[in-house]
Amino acid sequence: MSAASLSPAERNALSRVESADVREAARVRLAAHGVELDAGAGADRDNS
């Protein structure tokens, strides 16, 4: 199935799933280096 055959709603849902997968993969890679991320923390947030 190509992306062109998906409805806008299906493309949006797929984008959310892919984004979640990318965020999780990044979290795992960072955790391997001892960096812990809060689930709701933004990139510009200071957690100190």
Q: How far is CA 20 from CA 15, 24, 35, 42, 48, in A?
A: 9, 6, 18, 15, 25
Give the model confidence (pLDDT) of 4-48 as tens digits.
788 999 999 988 898 999 999 998 999 998 888 665 555 554 545
Tokens representing residue 17 in the block: 């799933």
Please give the pLDDT value at position 35.
83
Please give the pLDDT value at position 2.
62
Residue pair 6/14 in contact (Cβ under 8 Å)? The answer is: yes
Q: Where are the domains of the chain?
A: 8-32
Residue pair 13/4 in contact (Cβ under 8 Å)? The answer is: no
Residue pair 5/12 in contact (Cβ under 8 Å)? The answer is: no
pTM above 0.75, yes or no: no
